[in-house]
Amino acid sequence: MSTDDALLLDQRAGKYTVQAMKDLQKQAVILVIDDDADLRYSLKRVLSSKEYRVLEAESGEVGLKVAAAEKPQVILLDNRMPGMTGIETLQHLRGEHPNAMIILMTAFGTTQTTIEAMKFGAFDYIMKPFDPKQIMGLTAAALAASSDLDKASASMGGDAGSQVSAEDLEGGIIGSSKPMQAVFKTIGQVAASDATVMITGESGTGKELIARAIHRNSLRSNKPYIAVNCAAIAENLIESELFGHEKGAFTGATQQHLGKFERCDGGTIFLDEIGDMALATQTKILRALQEGEIQRVGGSETIKVDVRMLAATNKPLEEMVEEKTFREDLYYRLNVVRVPLPALRERMEDVPSLVDFMLKRLARDSKAELKHISPEALAVLQAYDWPGNVRELENLIYRSAVMAQGEAILLKDLPEEVVEAAGLEPSEQAEEAGSVELRERGDALDAAYAQLRGETEVDLLHAAERAMIARALQETEGELGAAAAILGMTRPTLRKRIEQHSLNT
Ligand SMILES: Nc1ncnc2c1ncn2[C@@H]1O[C@H](COP(=O)(O)OP(=O)(O)OP(=O)(O)O)[C@@H](O)[C@H]1O
Ligand SMILES: [Mg+2]
């Protein structure tokens, strides 16, 4: 082992000894916690310098010990490790070393991990694989933040890290693309506060899902969450729905009725389609926001309510403010934190994992066999522009899964309009193997598939595809034409795939 190693880990005993180094004091200490020895090695190579001393630990457990002894300023923490997970380690580290900046390294950018990482006070997260420049930049930023914090807490004599207790995090939001990761990061940052959040985005982008996630990750998660669709309730009823009414307030009000605000006390109210709310109601909402109090319709008593408001709309509120159909003051009041959701076409790289998630959920809910999707069909879904966003994709997947007779959704199971709009022709229409058109198409699909190969879900897809091809070959006793037809692939494509997967025919 090299004498440069500041720390020699005796992995079996979980003990470590520290070797003397000349300028220990001057160097910033960076701790890399990862079970992957190669990654630790390369991070150490990249980061080690006169300024940085890099220590390693191969598990969360060892990492905690090293951190206790060495007080690192920056910790690079893997998420998936045997034993303690990164998130668990993160929670311990935050408790014990509030001024250390922790960067979580995730191989699979799951929603949960990102939200949790930010919630439990990570400085940032980075998705594997990353390039050296990225990690160097992030480490430098973390180090700067750490020394700022050191100075601040020295002057305050206090602990600057805030803690949120562990909460039940339910999944269901898919997105490892950059724009979605940014959304999760914001959620993690704002969930615990009582800030009003305005969620915007086209129809079907997941506004309601995000509103729920904010509530679930907030300190109010065990209090009521009530969603109100402002567009669906008749204008003359909405006030009574929201604020309640007294007996005799209007014809038909035969008894007192508690509104959603009162029933939601202590919890979160989600005002969906807020752009469709009448001006008169907007005024009352503003008052509830500003004063934290409401009045029942027909009542004179003011009632204190403690409600956090979330709002969503797919209307251009700014324009509505200009046209005076939306109150400017309410607009600013609601717009404290804005979460704009990307359209699905702006995050096409999430399509494979969304499809995978939807197929798994469908199999679970319908207690049916899990269906797969052929790479060709998936390539079409990644070339379509999704005006209806995730909702449209969800509907299409459910419909196609029902249409598909075999184990996989094939090109032929997709709606014609979608295939046409995506600019790829169904394979039956070009049956002649070896034709120029087919070869070109095969190449286009290969290119699309090569792109997919870079994505996180690739291993799954790859394995699923291999199994599908093997099964088709078995069923057709190695007859390529027939197998290609079953798979919704062209013969040349199939031949290539057989080679790639090292399958026997
Ligand atoms: N990131 C995502 N991961 C998984 N499912 C999603 C995601 N985003 C949206 N969905 C699903 O897509 C559908 C539409 O989402 P949602 O109802 O939240 O959209 P919305 O933005 O509120 O649309 P609208 O403006 O039409 O009300 C839901 O079934 C939801 O579960
Ligand atoms: Mg909605």
Q: What is the pLDDT of residue 191?
A: 85
Q: What is the pLDDT of residue 163?
A: 21
Chain segment 219-243, per-residue pLDDT in tens: 999 999 999 998 888 777 888 999 9
Which residue has a Cα nearest atom 13 of ligand 1? 391
* In a domain? residue 173: no
What strands lie across the sheet with 268-272, from one edge to the other? 225-229, 268-272, 308-313, 197-200, 337-340
Instruction: Report the CATH number at residue 129.
Output: 3.40.50.2300
* Ligand 1 mean position, distance from CA 203 (Å): 8
> Averaged over 403-428, what is the pLDDT?
80
- Give yes or no for residue 342 CB within 6 A of ligand 1: no
Higher pLDDT, 409 or 21: 409
Q: What is the pLDDT of residue 319?
A: 94
Chain segment 1-56, per-residue pLDDT in tens: 433 333 333 332 222 223 333 334 467 899 999 999 989 998 999 898 888 899 99
Looking at the structure, tell me whether residues 350 and 335 fall in a common domain: no
Higher pLDDT, 126 or 430: 126
Least confident of 17-26, 91-100, 109-118, 276-285: 17-26
* In a domain? residue 162: no
Which residue has a Cα nearest atom 24 of ligand 1? 203
Residue 451 has pLDDT above 60, yes or no: no
Choosing from 184, 208, 212 the residue with most ligand 1 atoms within 8 A of its CB, the one to mutate for a pocket test is 208
* In a domain? residue 166: no
- Give yes or no for residue 350 CB within 6 A of ligand 1: no
Instruction: Report the CATH number at residue 287.
Output: 3.40.50.300
Tokens 């701790």 appear where? Answer: 31
Looking at the structure, tell me whether residues 494 and 350 fall in a common domain: yes
> Averaged over 266-294, what is the pLDDT?
91
Q: What is the pLDDT of residue 424?
A: 59
Buried b (16+ CB within 10 A) or exposed e, 342-377: bbbebbbbbbbbbbbbbbeebeeeeeeeebbbbbbb
Strand 257-258 to 28-33 pairing: unpaired
Q: How far apart are CA 469 and CA 477, in angstroms?
A: 12
Q: How far apart are CA 375 and CA 410, in angstroms?
A: 8
Strand 244-245 to 257-258 pairing: antiparallel
* In a domain? residue 395: yes
The CA–CA distances, whole Å, from 381 to 336, 340, 407, 453, 485 equal: 36, 23, 18, 15, 20
- Give yes or no for residue 204 CB within 6 A of ligand 1: yes
Instruction: Report the CATH number at residue 364.
Output: 1.10.8.60
Average pLDDT of the chain is 79
Looking at the structure, tell me whether residues 190 and 136 fall in a common domain: no
Which amino acid, 330? L
Instruction: Find the domain containing 268 and state its range.
Output: 178-340
DSSP 4: T
Higher pLDDT, 118 or 56: 56
* In a domain? residue 165: no
Looking at the structure, tell me whether residues 283 and 192 fall in a common domain: yes
* In a domain? residue 138: yes
Q: What is the pLDDT of residue 434?
A: 35
Q: Which atom of ligand 1 lies closest to the CA of 350? A: 1
- Give yes or no for residue 295 CB within 6 A of ligand 1: no
> Averaged over 273-278, what is the pLDDT?
92
Overall number of domains in the chain:
3
Residue 148 has pLDDT above 80, yes or no: no
Looking at the structure, tell me whether residues 349 and 332 fall in a common domain: no
- Give yes or no for residue 275 CB within 6 A of ligand 1: no
Looking at the structure, tell me whether residues 12 and 151 fall in a common domain: yes
Which residue has a Cα nearest atom 4 of ligand 1? 173
- Give yes or no for residue 203 CB within 6 A of ligand 1: yes
Instruction: Provide the pLDDT confidence category of residue 192 given band limits of 50, 70 and 90.
Output: confident
Q: Which of 312, 340, 368 lies at the terminal end of a domain, its last residue? A: 340
> Averaged over 384-404, what is the pLDDT?
92
Looking at the structure, tell me whether residues 238 and 350 fall in a common domain: no
- Give yes or no for residue 394 CB within 6 A of ligand 1: yes
> Averaged over 482-486, what is the pLDDT?
79
- Record the pTM: 0.59
